[in-house]
Amino acid sequence: MVITLETTASDAVVEAVFRLAARYEGVTPKKHVFQGVGERLVEVHLVGSTRQVPTEPFEALDGVLSVVRVSTRYRVIGRHGTDDGTRGFDYNGVRFGRDQVHLFAGLCAVDTRPHVDETLAVLASHGLQTTRMGAYKPRTSPYEFQGLGSECLPWVFELAGKHGIRVVAMEVTDARHIDEIKTALERAGRPTGVMLQIGTRNTQNFELLKHVGRQSEFPVLFKRGMGITIEESLNACEYVASEGNPNIVFCLRGVKSNLGDPHRNLVDFAHVPVILRQTRLVVCVDPSHSVGRKDATPDGVPDIFHVTGQGIIAGATMVLVDFHPYPEVALCDGPQALTLDQLPKLLGYVRTVREAYEKAVTIVNAS
Ligand code: PEP
Ligand code: MN
């Protein structure tokens, strides 16, 4: 059962809900806070044997906005009742929601300071404040480049600050990495922010999910599992939210199957509407790890652009995409990295498709 409080409700209302919940055996109340622009939404979730718990006494409490019975699935990330699913969140001055598109363009794996500097300078020149920079790389082979790890964090954060980048998406593969990122950010004077990325190989690493869920300093970019169903991925994502961190972006990145050949993965962006419908989450697409190559159609448009468009036209509002100033020397995923001269083209492409999406929604909803 989800009890949503009025935005003006004080802590006394939360206490009253907890007191009332204590009257019912086998029911545990848990408070969840969703922070938006100038608005803080508080919910109390009753977990356990709630079937016998009536909704009316909770509805009668002053300061309670609504009480909704929910199935045990996706209790926090799911949409329930009349929830319009557009909550989103703010982080470090950037609004993540379903109304604004953010391009997280950057290096798959950080390699050298000059490459990071050059990339971020170009992003900044196009007004971007978001990037991707992998420091901890989960690789298929132990003999491949594993990422520079914590040693690169001081200068990555310093350069991000220098170029006005507000959010860096960075994968963590171990709970230790969260502390390393936190420490490096503090030492650097917090020049930027970080969105913790859970990679597809760790989608069901439940202990790691609990760790990123227990902290609320950083939002989480959660990749779907490449070999599991959407339902399994959403249940895994719920681990993050149920631990207390609701600031999550759900990212589609293709699934493993030879049926996707010659692409690296079978592109699954047809699931964008499914995630938008079933959850409150912001939805991201990763065209780089889906397609894995830079070929273009005879009209000159690269496959990576085409699938980005497929995600945006379906309502995705975030794109995670690999760029490298010199893909031929990239230490990870060079074959799928776009070059910096392609950035304004991708930006123009994304803007055009987003406008088409907005027009299309108007057409479909016209009476
Ligand atoms: C990545 O984005 O760097 C990455 C490794 O992606 P995925 O986890 O989707 O393979
Ligand atoms: Mn990669």
Distance 288 CA to ligand 1 centre (A): 9
Residue with tokens 């040693």: 151
Distance 289 CA to ligand 2 centre (A): 6
75 lines ligand 1 (CB under 6 A): no
CB of 224 shorter than 6 A to ligand 1? no
Helices (H), the chain: 11-21, 56-59, 113-125, 153-162, 175-187, 206-214, 230-242, 272-278, 287-291, 303-313, 343-365
Nearest CA residue ID for atom 9, ligand 1 = 200
Mark 50-78 as b/e (b = at least 16 C-beta within 10 Å): beebeeeebeebebbbbbeebeeebbbbb
Q: Minimal CA–CA distance to 292: which of 334, 259, 242? A: 334
Nearest ligand 1 atom to the CA of 223 is 9
Per-residue tens of pLDDT for the chain, all 367 residues:
999 999 899 999 999 999 999 999 999 999 998 876 667 889 999 988 888 899 999 999 999 999 988 876 788 999 876 666 667 999 999 999 999 999 999 999 999 999 999 999 999 999 999 999 999 999 999 999 999 999 999 999 999 999 999 999 999 999 999 999 999 999 999 999 999 999 999 999 999 999 999 999 999 999 999 999 999 999 999 999 999 999 999 999 999 999 999 999 999 999 999 999 999 999 999 999 999 999 999 999 999 999 999 999 999 999 999 999 999 999 999 999 999 999 999 999 999 999 999 999 999 999 9
Of 299, 298, 287, whose CA–CA distance to 336 is shortest?
A: 287
243 lines ligand 1 (CB under 6 A): no
Ligand 1 atom at minimum distance from 320 CA: 2
Could you tell me if the CB of 264 is within 6 A of ligand 1? no
**pTM, 2 dp:** 0.93
Q: Is the CB of 193 under 6 A from ligand 1?
A: no
Domains of the chain as residue ranges with CATH: 2-68 (3.30.70.1140), 89-365 (3.20.20.70)
